[in-house]
Structure 1
Amino acid sequence: MWNHPMMPARMRGVAAARRILASALLGIGALSGSGLATGSQAAPDAAPAATPVRRPTTPPVAGAAASAVTSASAAPAVVQAAAQPARVPASAALETLAVQRDAQVARGRYLALAADCAACHKSDANVPFVGGAPLNSPFGKIYASNITPDAETGIGRYTRDDFEAALRRGIARGGKRLYPAMPYASFARMSDGDIDALYAYFMKGVVPVQHVVPATRLPFPFNQRWALALWDGIFVEHQRFVPDRSRDALWNRGAYLVQGAGHCGACHTPRGPAYEERGYDESSRRYLTGAVNDHWFAPNLTGRAADGLGRWSETELTRFLATGHGNGAIAFGAMGPVVTESLQYLEQRDVQAIAHYLKSLAPRGGSTARYASASSEAQRSAAWLQSGSVELPGAGLYANFCARCHRIDGRGQDGYPALAGSSLVLADDATSLVRLVLEGGHSPEVNGMPRVAMPAFGQHLNDEQIAQVVGFVRNSWGNRAVPPTTRAVTRLRATLRKQ
């Protein structure tokens, strides 16, 4: 949606694209990226119909929240912006006027936002679609490709059939197999019409940028791409989405988005020994039951009461998906960019559909976590913290470093998330909590929402202390979940240092 009268027809180099990106995100010549109004319910296999682009009226949000942290126990501030332009998708910097003039291109743009294409196919300088940023896999770094329509370094020479083969079958132009870091097993479920719209967007709605990405060089035997054909034949279903006639239109729309363009299973479904997803829809008992990806744990999205969505209402889940805030929780880690660059720009009806589908999933997963808010254990742990009469492992650390924002009773305050009963705290795997304590984090950048930040404690706490405080949080106020070991913290810290 971005255009400038002095912009050349063909930009060469990421430096030029980066300058345009900075200008667009400052609001110079940028139009709204709040999504395209549908005006009616969309069919499960179609993006919303294109309508004129609108500019958000919600007050914009400041950059990273928090004043300088002068000590390990200092609490960051919640920052509300004054007069700054509303945020637009990063991809707006590389878009042409075709997204306003061509309905199919506009539809493709919406689908690219729903699929969050810019999140993976960006450069190290965060220029969207030009590729080059590494994806950390268990086998090594995989570099995302340039998907701008540049004829030499991008997909400018792709025919529509070439594009479909890459998107649905994981085969690049020329026959090269793509690693399953590309979620083509999910994209295979998308309709022909949506594939056509995405192709139109990337060919006519995105500016070509010449940018050579680093070659992916995995160690043997993972560098043998011919073997991916065997892997594909064994594990990938290649099925189109088929609406369930026993369900309503909202459920089917949500299922289509979650299983297809949204590719939620790529992160939230555990993988097997061959790195295959253990299911592609609700018919699988492992589907969306949680998994570790790039040293973040994507939590269980089924109806489990403790560590899933069982205690979330559909309204709370809808708000969380659209804003990163809901049910006392805040999106962080790998989910933050999904909210920032994708979910906040979807139409409300689509976000509701996603929540509606997720809330229909039966409780599944093997976690032993539980939560009992009114139990005597919950009351005792709160009393002990208040009085200091009993020194539980990690309790003193929590009181000194965490209680200022999350409160002694673990219920959070003023935009800071609750820890008591949090399904994220009670997740089957504590990796995300440990990483958050080590590195810190911040809430998504969402129009109309204040941002909050958590300082990093990796330089102030040793591995044993981090294991203790995370274990305390996972086993206080009625929470019951397996605490992390000191060894697990040590291993994660060492791994993160190597990245």
Structure 2
Amino acid sequence: MSKRRWKRLILWALLIALVWLAVDALIGWWYRRGPAVQVTATPAQIERGKYLVAAADCAACHTADGGAPFAGGVPLASPFGVIHGTNITPDADTGIGRYSADDFFHTITRGEARDGHQLYPAMPYVSYKTIERAESDAIYAYLMTRPAVKQDNLANGVGFPFNIRTGIHAWNLLFAGAQARPASQGQSPAWKRGEYLVETLGHCGECHSPRGWLGQVDRAQPLAGNAALGRFAAPALTPQALAERGWDRAGLQAYLAGGVAAHAVASDEMLKVVNLSTRWLSAQDIDAIATYLLGDAPPAAVAWTPAAATGGDAPAQSHYFALCAGCHGRDGQGVPHVAPALAGNTGVRDADAHNLIVAILDGLPEHDLPGLERMQEMPGFADQLDDRDVAALAQWLRGRYGGQSAAVDPAQVRRLREAAGAKH
């Protein structure tokens, strides 16, 4: 092919691209025009919408700390860059004030905004695609009757080529149609209700399932855990994994309702989920979630027994008594309103030491729980313990209080320590 023909092809390609961008911009401008929508809804529909907004955990991504409700600004870390939750108040210019109920349903179930631009899959439209239309309308009615807040959406920190949103069309073709595969077995009404709450409204698999290299949820490993989305790992929620950490139905119900169970206390992102979402659910719905996670025939919670002591335990045990026992107790029994018990603690019993290592390195902030329980701040010990010390302490804790005999690799501690430094 001659150089002249190549130049023509390139010019035509550039011209088509420019025309397409212009048309896209024109369509976006057109859809951003128009009057604000006036919503008429019954008190019952608004009240139902309020409940569903909690069940769908909308505030976690759309209400920033210290910010106006649903006005956006929450930073959501992803392997592709930071994505910010948007303003979903009824403001006509910066929120969803020009959205009709049809627009809203299309957006949350198909991932396409009213002006035609594609949403990043950080918005869990892949999970919401099975939401019932009546429930979408109730959520819409509730949000559209909240105070309008004029607050511009923050720019996202997604780099090239992922900042070209048209590419999300291809992502959707590949992954958006995938159906969630249950991680448990059941057919009871409670199990089916729990499936809808977990897989659709609660979109638990978005955090608790592994993801592929393009960010898609791995449907072959439902609720098998994910350590790549945040500083703390989202642990596995399969029936067997829950049973191995000592969970039973009553424990899950208590944890979801108040953030505290016999051997677990909510923290980090799960504390936000409890405070903004699950604590507001009815006892029947909380029971349905627990039923779904464990299955209609749940495995028996595994009892734990301390691992046998070895001669090499002395340094780690000394670190425990010097740094930890003052709050967690000499025998790991914990102190109410101060520190959770470590004996039998579900985090200590996790097959992966990731979260225990992060807690030792970073500590935990003081936080209040819905059940009027307060946990004081836990200091981090990254400056006092080297990688081998942290690994030895974590291994001792897992053996003494979690019945875990597997070694903790100092290399894992080093990776997590370096990852914390990279964030700052």
Matches within 5 A, 1:265-304: 265-279=205-219, 284=220, 286-292=221-227, 293-304=229-240
Q: Report the equivalent of 2:320.
A: 398
Match of 1:449 in 2: 372
The reply on whether 1:355 has 2:277 as its aligned counterpart is no
Cα shift at 1:328 = 1.2
When residues 123 and 380 of structure 1 are mapped into structure 2, their CA distance, relative to the original with a 3 A threshold, is closer
The amino acid of 1:159's aligned partner reads S
Partner of 1:480: 405
When residues 133 and 240 of structure 1 are mapped into structure 2, their CA distance, relative to the original with a 3 A threshold, is: closer
Question: Cα gap change, 1:304/1:149 in structure 2, threshold over 3 Å: closer, same or farther?
Answer: same
The answer on 1:412 being equivalent to 2:352 is no
Quote the Cα distance in structure 2 between the aligned partners of 1:272 and 1:357: 25
Q: 1 CA distance for matches of 2:95 and 2:210?
A: 32
Aligned CA distance change for structure 1 residues 443 and 429 (closer, same or farther; 3 Å): farther
String of CA shifts for 1:200-231, please: whole Å, max 9, x gaps. Answer: 11112x11100012211411121121111111
Q: Quote the residue 1:236 is aligned against.
A: 176
Q: TM-score, normalised by structure 2?
A: 0.80
CA–CA distance in 1 between the matches of 2:362 and 2:114? 39
Q: Is the 8 A contact 1:146 1:212 kept in 2?
A: yes
The 3 A distance-change label for structure 1 pair 468 and 321 is: same
Give the deviation of 1:440 after TM superposition: 2.5
| Counterparts in 2 of 1:493 and 1:239: CA distance versus 1, 3 Å | closer
Contact 1:268 1:290 (8 Å CA) reproduced: yes
Match of 1:197, SS state, is: helix
2:146 matches 1:222 = no
Which of 301, 315, 326 is the aligned partner of 2:250?
315
What is the alpha-carbon distance in structure 1 between the residues aligned to residue 303 and residue 186 of structure 2?
A: 35
C-alpha change, 1:245 and 1:455, in structure 2 (3 Å) is closer
- Look up the SS of the partner of 2:108 in the other structure: helix
Q: Shift of the alpha carbon at 1:147?
A: 0.5
* TM-fit CA distance, 1:405: 2.9
**Shift, 1:246, TM fit:** 6.8
Alignment-derived partner of residue 304 in structure 2? 373
- One-letter amino acid matched to 1:197: A
Distance 1:435 1:363, change over 3 A: farther
Measure how far apart 1:310 and its partner are: 6.3
The structure that is helix-richer by fraction is: 2
Task: Answer whether contact 2:357 2:394 (CA < 8 A) is retained.
Answer: yes
* Counterpart in the other structure of 2:74: 133
Q: 1:492 aligns with which of 409, 419, 424?
A: 419
Amino acid at match of 2:216: E
Equivalent of residue 163 in structure 1, options 97, 104, 107: 104
Aligned partner of residue 291 in structure 1, secondary structure: coil
Any unmatched runs of 5+ in structure 2?
A: 1-39
Q: Which deviates further from its counterpart, 122-131 or 294-303?
A: 122-131
Whole-angstrom distance in 2 between the partners of 1:340 and 1:296: 18
Q: Name the CA distance, whole Å, in 2 between partners of 1:220 and 1:361.
A: 46
Q: Give the C-alpha shift of residue 164 in structure 1.
A: 1.3
Q: Deviation string for 1:452-477 (max 9, x for gaps)?
A: 12422246424423333223323334
Distance 1:241 1:207 in 2: 38
Query: Quick one: which amino acid aligns to residue 238 of structure 2?
Result: T
Matched to 1:395, the amino acid is Q
Instruction: Flag as ranges the 4+ runs of structure 1 deviating above 6 A.
Output: 361-364
Aligned twin of 2:121: 180
Counterpart residue identity of residue 111, structure 1: L
Query: How big is the shift at 1:110?
Result: 0.5
TM-score by length of 1: 0.69
Classify 1:296/1:361 alpha carbon distance in 2 versus 1 (closer, same or farther; 3 Å): farther
Return the structure number with greater relative CO, CA threshold 8 A, min gap 6.
Answer: 1
Q: What secondary structure, in the 3-state scheme, does the structure 1 residue paired with 2:391 have? A: helix
Distance 1:362 1:482 in 2: 33
Amino acid of the structure 1 residue aligned with 2:304:
S
Partner SS, residue 77 of structure 2: strand
The alignment partner of 1:476 has SS state of helix
1:82 maps to none
Q: CA deviation at 1:311?
A: 2.9
Match of 1:434 in 2: 357
How far did 1:422 drift? 3.0
Which of 72, 80, 90 in structure 2 is aligned with 1:149? 90
* More divergent stretch after superposition (119-128 vs 262-271): 119-128
Q: Cα deviations across residues 20-44 of structure 1 (Å, max 9, x unaligned)?
A: xxxxxxxxxxxxxxxxxxxxxxxxx
Task: Provide the rounded CA distance (Å) in 2 between the counterparts of 1:487 and 1:460.
Answer: 13
Percent identity over the alignment is 37
Report the residue type matching 1:274 in the other structure: L
CA distance in 2, matches of 1:459, 1:490: 8
